[in-house]
Amino acid sequence: QVQLVESGGGLVQAGGSLRLSCAASGRTFSTAAMAWFRQAPGKGREFVAGLRGSGPNTYYADSVKGRFTIFRNNAENTLYLQMNMLKPDDTAVYYCAARERDWVATSMSLYDYWGQGTQVTVSS
């Protein structure tokens, strides 16, 4: 059974940093695309960042470019999201996602596996 488990969320002041982790089990995702999405209260789930399993290419939403970095440790089967210069608008539940195909999609409907989410709250 495939499981994605996020951790690392919390409360931080604007300008601060957090690192989210997503530990995968049940299969290896080293050759599959993975991504982070987020959902703020009253809004839909939106793409934040993604990367392929087989190459160095990374993709970011315009709202987080230059502040967030997505990376993975294949030996640990873990995905990360380093978030710097956080803003109150970054407040949301953050979800890790993975798909069987090895190309990054920005649509949540194209992902096959999801974590339970971790809350990030940025105070002003």
Question: Mean pLDDT, to the nearest integer, of 101-117?
Answer: 95
The pLDDT value given to residue 46: 98
pLDDT: which is higher, 61 or 2 = 61
3-state secondary structure at position 44:
coil
Amino acid 51: pLDDT: 96
Residue 67, token pair as written in the block? 């502040």
In sequence order, the 6+-apart residues with CB closer than 8 A to the CB of 56 are none
Residue 30 binned pLDDT confidence (cut-offs 50, 70, 90): confident
Mean pLDDT, the chain, integer: 95
State the first-to-last Cα distance of the chain, in angstroms, to the nearest integer: 40
Residue 70 in contact with residue 47, Cβ under 8 Å? Answer: no
- Specify the pLDDT at position 1: 84
What's the DSSP call for residue 41? Answer: T
DSSP conformation letters of 49-92 = EEE-SSSS-EEE-TTTTTTEEEEEETTTTEEEEEE-S--GGG-E
* 52-81 pLDDT, tens digit each: 988 789 999 999 999 999 999 989 999 999
Q: What is the mean pLDDT of residues 102-122?
A: 96
- pLDDT for 31: 84
